A = this chain, B = another copy of it.
Amino acid sequence: MSTGAVEFVQDKKNQQRFLNELKDLLRIPSVSTLPQHKKDVIQAAQFLADELKRIGMENVQIIPTAGHPLVYCDWLHAANKPTVLMYGHYDVQPPDPLDEWKTPPFEPTERDGNIYARGAVDDKGQMYMHVKALEALLQTDAGKLPANVKVLLEGEEEIGGESIAKFVKENPGKLRADFALVSDTEMFAPELPTLNVGLRGLIYTELEATGAKIDLHSGMYGGAAPNPFFALAQVISKLKDDNGKILIPHFYDRVKRPSEDELTAWKALPFNEEEYRKNEVGSKELTGEPGFSVQERTWARPTLEVHGMPGGFVGAGAKTVIPAKAIAKISMRIVPDMKPEEAFEQYKNYVLSLAPKGISLKVTLLSMGEPSIIPTDNPYIKAATAAMKEVFNKDTVFIRSGGSIPIVAEFHKHLKIPSVMMGFGLPDDNLHAPNEKFHIANFYRGIESIVRFVEKLGQ
């Protein structure tokens, strides 16, 4: 039986079919943040519900929410075996800027052993590994699984995951499990099996500056009317110093430095800062707080970024307008033991204290998620490590991620369970960027790792 499921996922014909199915899913433009894609998000949920039913999962439900629906199913007949709650998300980031994609974001295309599409790795491809692992196990053992499995998929991860957070809080009984399995992270390097044991939290805001009551001509009014873009530039320039240190008072007060052991392990990771600068980032220099490694800066230090500044004239050519309003989309990553509510208040109070002459500022919170640290001394982490060793023939490294998976904090808070973050993305997969991809070999290795992992849970 055990060999059967692994052979099933190693079968070339099955692998081709898995990939074709994934392409069908990637063709659905389930961009959760854009209202015009609401039907596509629902279609992706339906696609997954149909597939989970087809492979033999039970109690398949599309659960409506105030936002996009959840997909739930389970199989709970493995008496005295642990229960895993498998999580993934079927929504994707917007594809813009469209003109930088080599092939269209919603026409999945194979190139050089990769599949290119919006959502390829984040998270449709990785979520679909779970589905195909479950299929392999069910198909090769007469519809049975070696452990108990609950699956919960959401369509709002990219917009803050509000509905799933509410659902988790209100349904701890239905979701009771021993741990969660989340595949929405990446491997530290190609061929290096990786478990993620720490995540930064996120505070996403909009800062709106209003000057005049209407857009004004810069010839007529330049010299008298306040300019909201100039005001935003003044405010933003005071949020970080030239080195990237955040200047919000007391923002760092609760930051907990990683242990010496963890910092030492990070130093041993295969990492060449110059190659990272050149090949991954591609900028002239790296930035960030002096005195901290790239790993510590991106995994364990708070950061603040500006994502876009809508307003005014953004077309080609010249328009001499002093816009009435301008907005800056600003987010912060926060780390243990910072508290999101407190950090947001610190940010908001500081920003509002910086309002330039003649300008009204408004701060809006779009979403918020807690940072988290996962303990590594539990049997599920050990089983995951063993399963990946069989697939990759290498020891697993423990890293953190600078990104945010708010659901991990929700699982910890409301279900009191840890999450095993077993991800198979690669550092150059262009997450949230044009030409997002997933390495096809990792798609297959991910499915096999999960099959072996669930088998070990049943032993």
Contacts and interface: CB of A to CB of B under 8 A. Distances in A.
A174 interface: no
B432 A233 contact: no
A412 B77 CA distance: 92
A329 interface: yes
A397 interface: no
A316 B328 CA distance: 12
Given A33-B315, A219-B401, A284-B358, 5 more contacts: A223-B289, A223-B297, A237-B237, A305-B322, A317-B366
Nearest to A305: B218
A206 B286 CA distance: 25
Interface in A210-229: 211-227, 229
A442 interface: no
Contacts of A186: 220
Interface in A311-370: 311-324, 326, 328-329, 331, 333, 356-360, 366-367
Interface of A: 33-35, 93-94, 96-97, 100, 158-160, 186, 200, 202, 204, 211-227, 229-230, 232-240, 242-244, 276, 280-289, 294, 297-298, 301, 303-324, 326, 328-329, 331, 333, 356-360, 366-367, 401-404, 427, 430-435
Contacts of A227: 287, 305-306
Contact of A223 (B217, B276, B298, B313): B298
A305 B216 CA distance: 11
B281 A224 contact: yes
A268 B358 CA distance: 26
A312 B315 contact: no
A99 to B, nearest CB: 12
Please give me the 10 A-B residue pairs with the lowest Cβ-Cβ distance, nearest first.
Answer: A213-B282, A219-B403, A308-B312, A33-B317, A223-B297, A233-B236, A229-B306, A222-B303, A310-B314, A237-B237
A223 B314 contact: no
Given A224-B297, A226-B283, A285-B226, A218 B315 contact: no
A283 B212 contact: yes
A50 B280 CA distance: 60
A313 B421 CA distance: 28
Contacts of A294: 223-224
B225 A319 contact: no
A321 B432 contact: yes
A239 B237 CA distance: 12
B433 A303 contact: no
Contacts of A235: 233
Given A34-B316, A312-B329, A219 B287 contact: no
Given A33-B315, A402-B222, A230 B306 contact: yes
A148 to B, nearest CB: 32
Contacts of A316: 33-35
A145 B12 CA distance: 89
A331 to B, nearest CB: 6
Contact of A216 (B204, B230, B357, B433): B433
Most B C-beta atoms less than 10 A away, residue of A233, A240, A331: A233
A224 B298 contact: yes
24 contacts: A33-B318, A33-B319, A34-B315, A200-B219, A204-B320, A214-B430, A215-B433, A216-B433, A217-B403, A219-B401, A220-B427, A222-B333, A222-B402, A224-B298, A229-B308, A230-B239, A230-B240, A236-B237, A242-B356, A282-B324, A287-B358, A307-B322, A308-B314, A314-B314
B97 A220 contact: no
